[in-house]
Amino acid sequence: MLRTEGLGMQLYDTADLRAELHQIGCRLTPQREKILKFFQNLPQGNHLSAEDVYQALRQRGENISLSTIYRSLKLMARMGLLRELELAEGHKHYELNQPYPHHHHHLVCVQCNRTIEFTNTSILKTGIKQAEKEGLHLLDCQLTIHAICPEALRRGWPSLLPSNWVCPRALNGTVTGVITQN
Amino acid sequence: MLRTEGLGMQLYDTADLRAELHQIGCRLTPQREKILKFFQNLPQGNHLSAEDVYQALRQRGENISLSTIYRSLKLMARMGLLRELELAEGHKHYELNQPYPHHHHHLVCVQCNRTIEFTNTSILKTGIKQAEKEGLHLLDCQLTIHAICPEALRRGWPSLLPSNWVCPRALNGTVTGVITQN
DNA sequence: CCCCTAATTTACAATCATTCGCAATAAAAC
DNA sequence: GTTTTATTGCGAATGATTGTAAATTAGGGG
Ligand SMILES: [Mn+2]
Ligand SMILES: [Mn+2]
Ligand SMILES: [Zn+2]
Ligand SMILES: [Zn+2]
């Protein structure tokens, strides 16, 4: 569910989580609590796969099974606590769902997967309007801009690039935490 | 590559396809030609998986292997002839890439997968602007609005719905061909 | 036309993310 | 505490997609 309050999920505590879980007939478990807390303490701009979350928690000594990670991520995405993203990599990524005005979108290079976040309020308005027009309840609204680094283009993309070729921009990591204004 | 000419892909014929394939060191094969023609003759609003394309062509007596379908769809998406869509179903969908002003976006119910297309010119402008700002080459730009039918909400979503429950709206098919104006 | 070479197709195996089945465990309602 | 039923964890299963290697074919140059 798209959250329209002005507060971030950081202020969403254990009691709130329990309440919201109970509302839909679910229970608060240590696993669910830890997973949500983990996302709440993650720096902005991280987009993690289920496997990423699994490894990160395991390193902290938490031993939550991968199945449970998958189940929890899906549940929390449905509940609107997390956002499920389809970037360009063959697996889903998750981030904390930050309501308006922190709601944002993604620009991603299909070659190096570098991902840049940006905000744009009119897009959310479009989503609200379209859902209302069709009589549906809005859950999320994501503009994904697929792009390609000029370095890759010069090397012959969209033909196959040499399998060992890595986009130089990928070196800064595949994710930037900077949210640029529209 | 995002195509900005005013013509639809319908007017993209065999010679054009050959030329564009040769430009990137690829060959024109009967398989590729048939797959593109298939999409060019598909009614607006269809979003097909690789398996869908495979079955449809097979029914027409064309025997193209599933592997080839996968590879061709990916190649043509890279070339900008097709658009690769991440709707809500666990597999990719493809449609003919219609350049501006036919460029459109999708509103999809995460329960019944009903998909509604709509146009909005300002979103494409946003995509162009963001890609330029970051110095990347724009490929595609898709607003995907995730929503839920009120019928599903009333039945308890986001808790698990009875496994046999089907959204009544799914009966009209999961896709509508109508493009509504923004 | 014919030849040559590299691109492509094909059948099939393999991979990878994700889900499922089920016995064991543990919330939370009473 | 007891009971109920959601949840976990494990391994197996699934399903979309990709890889492999041999056979085929497109298309450029004679
Ligand atoms: Mn993000
Ligand atoms: Mn469409
Ligand atoms: Zn790149
Ligand atoms: Zn629905």
Query: In the predicted model, is pLDDT for residue B78 greater than 60?
Result: yes
Residues B14/B28, Cβ–Cβ less than 8 Å: yes
Q: Please tell me the least confidently modeled range out of A72-76, B89-93, B99-103, B158-162.
A: B158-162
What is the rounded CA–CA span in Å between residue A72 and residue A63?
A: 14
Query: Would the CB atoms of A150 and B135 count as touching at under 8 Å?
Result: yes
Closest CA to A103 of A82, A120, A85: A120
pLDDT tens per residue, range B1-38: 666 554 455 678 999 999 999 999 999 999 999 999 99
Tell me the nearest-neighbour CA distance from B150 into chain A, angstroms: 6
pLDDT at B155 (0 to 100): 82
Cα A85 to Cα A49, A59, A95, A99, A105: the distances in Å are 9, 24, 8, 15, 10
Q: Does A91 touch chain B (CB under 8 A)?
A: no
Work out the percent of chain B whose per-residue pLDDT is above 90. 71
| Dihedrals phi, psi of B148, to nearest 5 degrees | -135, 140
What is the rounded CA–CA span in Å between residue A181 and residue B42?
A: 39
Note the CA–C1' distance, B57 to D24, in angstroms. 21
Work out the percent of chain B whose per-residue pLDDT is above 70. 84
Is the Cβ atom of B37 within 7 Å of strand D at any atom?
no
Label residue B66 by pLDDT band (50, 70, 90).
very high
Residue ranges of chain A whose pLDDT lies below 50: 6-8, 172-178
Tell me the nearest-neighbour CA distance from B42 into chain A, angstroms: 25
Q: Which nucleotide lies nearest residue B21, CA to C1'?
A: C7
Footprint of strand C on the protein (CB under 7 A): A 18, 21-22, 27-30, 49-51, 66-67, 70, 74, 90-92; B 21, 25-27, 29, 31-32, 63-68, 71-72, 90
Query: In the predicted model, is pLDDT for residue B137 greater than 70?
Result: yes
Mean pLDDT of B153-172: 72
pLDDT at A109 (0 to 100): 93
B70 token code pair: 């996968």
A128 vs B163, more confident: A128
Domains belonging to chain B, first-starting first, are 14-180 (1.10.10.10)
CB-proximal positions of chain C, under 7 Å? 7-13, 16-21, 26-29
Is the Cβ atom of A67 within 7 Å of strand D at any atom?
yes
* A131 closest CB neighbour out of B120, B145, B153: B145
Q: What is the pTM of this model?
A: 0.90
**Residue A102 C-alpha to ligand 2 middle, in angstroms?**
28
Query: In the predicted model, is pLDDT for residue B112 greater than 80?
Result: yes
Q: Does B143 touch chain A (CB under 8 A)?
A: yes
**Residue B100 C-alpha to ligand 2 middle, in angstroms?**
13
Query: In the predicted model, is pLDDT for residue B63 greater than 90?
Result: yes
B88 token code pair: 């809500």
* B131 closest CB neighbour out of A142, A147, A158: A147
What is the rounded CA–CA span in Å between residue A116 and residue A180?
A: 8
Work out the mean pLDDT of chain A and round it to a whole number. 88
Q: DSSP secondary structure string, A63-127? A: ---HHHHHHHHHHHHHHTSEEEE--SSSS-EEEE-PPTTS--EEEEETTT--EEEE--HHHHHHH
SS (H, E, C) B16-85: HHHHHHHHCCCCCCHHHHHHHHHHHCCCCCCCECHHHHHHHHHHCCCCCCHHHHHHHHHHHHHHCCEEEE
A115-145 burial, b for 16+ CB within 10 Å, e for fewer? bbbbbbeebbebbbebbeebebbbbbbbbbb
